[in-house]
Amino acid sequence: MRWVIAAIAGFGLLGSAASAAAKDEWDAPQPAWEGVWRGTIGTLPVHVCLDHTPYTEKGAYYYDRSKRLLRLVRGKAEGEWFEQETDDKNGARWRLTAKGGELAGTWSEGRKSLPVRLARIGGPSRDYDGPCGSMAFHRPRIGPVRLTATAGVKDGNRFTTWTFKPSPWLSDEVAISTFTLDRPGAAVARVNTILRSVLPKRDATGEWLECVAGNANTHGSDGSFYQAIEPQVISNIWLGANENGEYYCGGPHPENFNHPRTFHLGRGVEVDPRDWFLPSAVKREDLGGNYGLYKTLTPAFVAMILEEWKPGGDEQDQECREATLTQESWSVGIARGALVFSPNFPRVIMACGDNYKVPFAKLQPWLNAKGKAAVATLPR
């Protein structure tokens, strides 16, 4: 035991030393070329970001006319940068010298050479985002918010689908859609406000832009962000919707999600059907702070949900059944005559995910008083 304690203590000292060293590196004076720049390559206007961290030196730029990002990587020679076409192939070469608040040099590719003249418009950032994730760099690329409206009908109820696509240079990477109910009343208006909250703000900022900028900061290229909310069931009192999406914002791999959302149209609020169950079905743990209640399904309740599921005989089906039986985190939504349960799997086993419908009658022994009252009003 003594050697374990000594090892832990040693690790703590090393960790503290490493943290201090990393802090010193971040706090060290930044190179004069770091920041956001605006100027010209030849006669063509450009915006450029150059970033220095203890781990890498990278950048990006775009021509003001096209506004599509091109990645830059630091070369070995002083003031040398390369346009990186792929991870293992470099393109045009930049040679830059910093003088005061300006960068000057040349852009060259083959026998072609053009002068580069840049003036600083944004300084080095001590934030995680860095210059290539800053609004000083991205703001000129953001056009006005334009939404398309498409009429639809679900369960005899009219609704409007709203779709946002940004300016053309990002239209292949970003798409967001949601819907609002075409029904009067203050409570429905509050639900519509919640549904519309995924759309960009009036100045076009929002999660989509944070994602695009985050990938530019990490990789020097635009990220991708797709999000959609669609109606699944609509009654006089209840609205069941499904939200799904996929995004890549600079992490180790893309992320995707798919989960139901439930709204009470009489009260104008979003509700969590997991609150309708007894402790024998849903365990609640208060994590405090910003985390709040952590709700997980009990093994007995999960076993009941999966009673009707008969996996195939191959090894993958058996592994998926075992993973599903032991999964505690689930999303719950509404359907006609049933609740729908979906396991929240991590990416590595997301292929095992499925939706499981459980009829109201089968759920009765697991429901609390609030749940029985809610289920009695759900659409059949």
- State the pairing for strand pair 44-52/147-154: unpaired
229-274 per-position pLDDT tens digit = 999 999 999 999 999 999 999 888 888 889 999 999 999 999 999 9
* Cβ atoms of residues 356 and 342 within 8 Å: yes
Please give the backbone phi and psi of residue 271, each rounded to the nearest 5 degrees, phi first.
Answer: -125, 160
Q: What is the predicted pLDDT for the residue at 185?
A: 97
Report all structural domains of the chain as residue ranges with CATH numbers, in order of start: 35-141 (2.40.128), 143-271 (3.30.565.40), 274-380 (no CATH)
Do residues 206 and 200 make contact, with C-beta atoms less than 8 angstroms apart? yes
pTM of the model: 0.85
Going by pLDDT thresholds of 50, 70 and 90, the confidence category of residue 127 is low
Q: What is the pLDDT of residue 8?
A: 38
CB distance 357 to 260 below 8 Å: no
**What is the average per-residue pLDDT within 337-364?**
92
Give 73-99 pLDDT, tens digit per residue.
999 999 999 999 776 778 999 999 998
* pLDDT at 125 exceeding the cut of 70: no
Residue the block writes with tokens 């003088």: 99
Q: Can you give the C-alpha Rg of the chain in angstroms?
A: 27
Looking at beta carbons, which pairs linking 154-161 to residues 24 or more positions away fall under 8 Å? Answer: 154/231, 154/233, 154/234, 155/233, 155/234, 155/235, 155/379, 156/234, 157/181, 157/182, 157/183, 157/234, 158/182, 158/183, 159/231, 159/234, 161/230
Specify whether the CB–CB gap between 239 and 272 falls below 8 A.
no
Cα(332)–Cα(237) distance, integer angstroms: 18
Q: So what's the pLDDT on residue 9? A: 38
Task: Work out the average pLDDT over 161-182.
Answer: 93
pLDDT at 128: 57
Average pLDDT score over residue span 304-315: 79
Give the pLDDT score at 203.
Answer: 87
The whole-chain average pLDDT of the chain stands at 89
Enclosing H/E stretch for 109 = strand 102-109
With cut-offs at 50, 70 and 90, classify the pLDDT of residue 302: very high
Give the pLDDT band of residue 289 (cuts 50, 70, 90).
confident
Contact between residue 122 and residue 134 where contact means Cβ atoms under 8 Å apart: yes
Token digits of residue 245 = 């999406």
Cα separations (Å) of 79 from 59, 70, 97, 141? 13, 18, 6, 27
